[in-house]
Amino acid sequence: MTALSHFIFFGALGWCAEIVWTALKKRLTGQTRSWLFMGETSLWSFPLYGLIAILYEPIHDLIRPLVFPVRGAIYLLGFWAIEYLGGWLVWKISGEKPWDYSSAPGGSLNGLIRWNFALVWPLVGLGLEPIHDLLNRLAVI
């Protein structure tokens, strides 16, 4: 697989994960009673998730020998940085925030990153490790 195919793969994977995440959240919090699980995402999210191929993969290769709590902390800081910078850039380009966490429980930084995702992003990063490894094995075949 090429870098472009990895970019497209991770962009699509991120979109799908975001749609499932928002649909489940709406259903479990009672925002909807529908069982259609209608989630949402943004076109702007695709390139941000696609950046996993460019930024995450080399970082994963570098930190692979570290223990998982350290890798998780690095992933957290990396995802927060990209989420903040990406959200800020879209906000400046479009005049609108692509997401707004201003009223999120636990607080946020300018509505662009949620502090209560301090447990989510490390798990996402650690969960992406076997996916990255699988993509590398498929590239050899």
On average, the pLDDT of the chain sits at 93
Q: Which residues touch 116 (CB under 8 Å, ≥6 apart)?
A: 104, 105, 106, 107
Per-residue pLDDT band for 1 (boundaries 50, 70, 90) equals low
* Overall pTM > 0.85: yes
Ranges of each domain in the chain:
3-140
Task: Render the burial of 87-116: b for 16+ CB within 10 Å, e for the rest.
Answer: beebbeeeeeebbebeeeeeebeebbbbee
Long-range contacts of 82-86 (CB under 8 A, 24+ apart): 82/48, 82/51, 82/55, 83/48, 83/112, 83/113, 84/109, 84/110, 84/112, 84/113, 86/44, 86/48, 86/51
Per-residue pLDDT band for 3 (boundaries 50, 70, 90) equals confident
14-29 pLDDT per residue, tens: 999 999 999 999 999 9
